[in-house]
Structure 1
């Protein structure tokens, strides 16, 4: 069984101009990091011209479908009939994208099939991780 789910999504970048260009993005879930979701934007879609990856909690993404969530670098909220807004805050500025809520729901359903919500801790190998930390401390 695969340990990773990757789903391409179409994001609409909200900019100062009235035109909202579509940009490809990828949502990624890896059972080896069971609490996290990654959203990656390709180099041509970023100001820096390099691929940008944001990591945030699966719980934040799911909760943001229902109402405004997040107080830090990533914030999620519903918008209109079938859109979800994701805000990415960095020292360089803020990027705001719209993604179809249905695409996010399908992604979260696939992630839930891989690792059910509430059972993420079963994917962690805490003994191994602690041994790695201790090895690096010596």
Structure 2
């Protein structure tokens, strides 16, 4: 059985895209994809006017609330004593948002209660994933 955790949080846009004071974003974790977390931005907060989702590792999020982490498309770092900055790098530019660190920690606790760190491999469905990979290759 797959466990899905969704949590709405308020994010403050730091990029010059559309100026919005606070944006409701959704954090999502699924036990069927135990190494990843996702963040979804609503259409009014994106340049394209459609919902945009980013996926990155749960480990990156956990590290980023404590110290600067990430070198690729997603970078996360503490900002002050109660905020965390998430940077999303894309060909169109860079978007940066601030989220309350406490909200991110609460989300991580909920995800870790569903799938404890170090036990992610027990939630992988290798046979299903291999079938999907081979079906797409045919």
Regarding TM over 0.5, the answer is: yes
Aligned to 1:99: 99
- Residues 1-10 or 82-91, more deviating: 1-10
Q: Distance in 2 between matches of 1:80 and 1:54?
A: 24
Q: TM-score, normalised by structure 2?
A: 0.92
Q: Distance in 1 between matches of 2:135 and 2:84?
A: 43
Task: Give per-residue Cα distances to partners, 1:68-94, cap 9 Å, x unaligned.
Answer: 100100000001010000000000010
Q: Does 1:83 align with 2:83?
A: yes
Task: Give per-residue Cα distances to partners, 1:64-123, cap 9 Å, x unaligned.
Answer: 011110010000000101000000000001000000000000000000011101100100
**When the two structures are aligned, how many residues end up with a matched partner?**
137
SS in 1 for 2:111: helix
Asked whether the 8 Å contact 1:14–1:20 carries over to 2, the reply is no
Q: Give the superposition deviation at 1:21.
A: 1.3
Q: Distance in 2 between matches of 1:26 and 1:74?
A: 16
Q: Does 1:110 align with 2:110?
A: yes
Q: Give the superposition deviation at 1:127.
A: 2.4
SS in 1 for 2:104: helix
Aligned to 2:59: 59
From the superposition, tell whether residues 130 and 14 of structure 1 become closer, same or farther in structure 2 (CA, over 3 Å): same
SS in 2 for 1:75: strand
Aligned to 1:37: 37
State the superposition RMSD in angstroms.
1.9
Q: TM-score, normalised by structure 1?
A: 0.92
Which consecutive unaligned segments of at least 5 residues does structure 1 have? none
Which consecutive unaligned segments of at least 5 residues does structure 2 have? none
Q: Distance in 1 between matches of 2:130 and 2:115?
A: 22
